[in-house]
Structure 1
Amino acid sequence: MAEGTFIGGFTDHHVHLQLADPAGLADSRLGRVLDLGSEPDAIARLAADPPGISISYAGAFLTPPGGYPSDRAWAPAGSVREVADREDAETAVAEMSAAGASVIKIASNHDAGPVFADELIHAIVRIADRLGLPVVAHAEGAGQAQRMPALGVRALAHAPFTERLSDAEVSAQAGRIAWISTLAIHEGEAREIAIDNVRRFHAHGGTVRYGTDLGNGDLPVDLNPAEIAALREAGITGAALIRTLVPVAATVERRFLLPARDADPFDIEPAVAARIS
């Protein structure tokens, strides 16, 4: 038998299963996904009877009244929860927790509408902390990514793509917040900015997590070759790439062989992560 490590698949840290075909996950090389925006009851039902992998989720986006993505046609009914004030935040976070959420997702897209004030984001973080729920933020628009670490947000749902962060800003973020990659959904300048930010964030020791925004366009329900290529372009290769993909433990029902390799232990070809019978 070939030498290597048995794993149960990799982790996609940013999906929207209401916008994709979750049935395809059963034959994918993923072992876990994190859904970052779906109607809470719908995603809870899917997670209770998953298609061969583990599903964690945030439930609905929390956003200010009229904030992103409340006006988007692609957002399923019930997948956006508008939050007006601190009292409403207490109720909204409790709703997501009761639905089985393991994280809370907030939207802060200044290019598409109103965003929460610092005080309310900080309040949401404190409320969520009491329930053991880290907060993940969609940060878009000038200055939005820079706000989040100081407010206690644990992860950015997208590596910053609106603007090139300064080296000082990247360095400051590296020890305080994780970035979920989603590099391949961008084109042109936004892609170049995101990859450059990730390259420097990774070089400063920042935590990058593989995520694709599955459901955003025609993306494969599996490991995404374009996302892997973009991570490599940002200088994340070899063992660092494996850490970004966060392998999950193998089970009797789901085992893949990850061969030992010095140069680059991950290759998305099926022979590298082939299901073992």
Structure 2
Amino acid sequence: MIRHVDGGIVTGRFTDHHVHLQLVDHTLLSGSRLGRVVDLGGNPAVLRSLAGPVVEYAGPFLTAPGGYPSDRAWAPEGSIREIPDAASAAAIVAEVAETGACCIKIVAHSEAGPVLDDESFGAVVAAASVHGLPVVAHAEGAGQAQRAARLGASRLAHAPFSERLSDDEIAEQAASVEWVSTLAIHDDAHRAIAIDNVRRFADAGGVVLYGTDMGNGRTPVDLNTAEIDALREAGVDGIRLLHALAPVGAPALFLPVGDPSLARPLTPADLEA
């Protein structure tokens, strides 16, 4: 829902396509400008019980034995499933699907431990397809973004930030994979790489989705204006920015002068001539 009125735009509340609700005070969502969130790594039994806006979730991180984030203290109990081999993928994905997951989250973080081999990665993708679930990949490390796309992931949980992709690689990504932005979580060097990649990806027709990795450091449980600023720096503005924010349902927001950073709850006065 997007409607132009005098002085601004009316939309539904926004979507954050990458959050970790068990790492934040999720009760703050009810008073936020977010109408939907997608949790990309948590305990599905906990996530199913949360009230507030629409909560969709991938369930646990699927990773190699000893792979990221299995050694991280912040990872909640029940938020990680290790895939020992390709033969085990179908049963594990079926278990995750039965929890009500909206997608499958797979980890390919070669800078932080072992990653799934191609056969096991492909087996996860194939099993997810049986259940009609897209695969979202955390791809970090040299070559991992391209590898995730080649093996069938349909979305990257982070716009590539550990290496600058070539224009040819960008074109390949734009043809097959969506990117969740998460630009504002990075240090300056990685942020610059990610913004450069996103600018060329969007110009090539790639789909960029607003996402913050909420819970990674001190992030607001609301619209993150730092992420909006970074997307604009990457050239994702205007209608492209609204599409990235994927407004949903009611209650509605009023965006003075069309600026998502200034969004606030809509009032009757906003609709007066």
User: d(CA) in 2 for partners of 1:169 and 1:255?
Assistant: 38
TM-score by length of 2: 0.93
- How far off is 1:258 after superposition? 4.0
Q: Is the 8 A contact 1:61 1:80 kept in 2?
A: yes
Q: After alignment, is 227-236 or 85-94 more displaced?
A: 85-94
**After superposition, where does 1:16-165 map in structure 2 within 5 Å?**
16-46=20-50, 50-51=51-52, 53-165=53-165
Number of matched pairs: 264
User: d(CA) in 2 for partners of 1:150 and 1:142?
Assistant: 14
- How far off is 1:6 after superposition? 4.1
Q: Is the 8 A contact 1:33 1:54 kept in 2?
A: yes
Q: Is the 8 A contact 1:103 1:133 kept in 2?
A: yes
- How far off is 1:267 after superposition? 3.2
User: d(CA) in 2 for partners of 1:98 and 1:128?
Assistant: 12
**Cα deviation 1:202-254 (Å, max 9, x = unaligned):** 1101000000000111101111011000000001111110011111122xxx2
RMSD: 1.5
1:267 is aligned with what amino acid? Answer: P
Gaps of 5+ in 1: none
**Cα deviation 1:111-159 (Å, max 9, x = unaligned):** 0111111121111111101101100000011110111112110100000
Q: Is the 8 A contact 1:242 1:266 kept in 2?
A: no
1:182 is aligned with what amino acid? Answer: T
Match of 2:271 in 1: none
User: d(CA) in 2 for partners of 1:276 and 1:156?
Assistant: 37
**After superposition, where does 1:238-249 map in structure 2 within 5 Å?**
238-249=238-249
Q: Is the 8 A contact 2:179 2:208 kept in 1?
A: yes
Q: Which has the higher strand share?
A: 2
User: d(CA) in 2 for partners of 1:167 and 1:143?
Assistant: 14
- How far off is 1:188 after superposition? 1.8
Match of 2:203 in 1: 203
2:240 is aligned with what amino acid? Answer: A
User: d(CA) in 1 for partners of 2:97 and 2:226?
Assistant: 34
Match of 1:183 in 2: 183
Match of 1:267 in 2: 260
TM-score by length of 1: 0.92
2:237 is aligned with what amino acid? Answer: T
- How far off is 1:266 after superposition? 2.6
- How far off is 1:86 after superposition? 2.3
Q: Determine which of 7, 11, 24 is the counterpart of 1:7.
A: 11
1:55 is aligned with what amino acid? Answer: V
SS of the residue corresponding to residue 179 of structure 2 reads strand
- Identity among equivalent positions (%) equals 56
Q: Is the 8 A contact 2:10 2:266 kept in 1?
A: no
Q: After alignment, is 5-14 or 185-194 more displaced?
A: 5-14
User: d(CA) in 1 for partners of 2:5 and 2:182?
Assistant: 32
- How far off is 1:89 after superposition? 1.1
User: d(CA) in 2 for partners of 1:128 and 1:255?
Assistant: 34
User: d(CA) in 2 for partners of 1:273 and 1:70?
Assistant: 39
**Cα deviation 1:85-129 (Å, max 9, x = unaligned):** 123211211111111101000011000111111121111111101
Aligned pair 1:255/2:252, yes or no? yes
User: d(CA) in 1 for partners of 2:267 and 2:217?
Assistant: 31
User: d(CA) in 2 for partners of 1:267 and 1:22?
Assistant: 22
- How far off is 1:5 after superposition? 5.3
Q: Is the 8 A contact 1:25 1:222 kept in 2?
A: yes
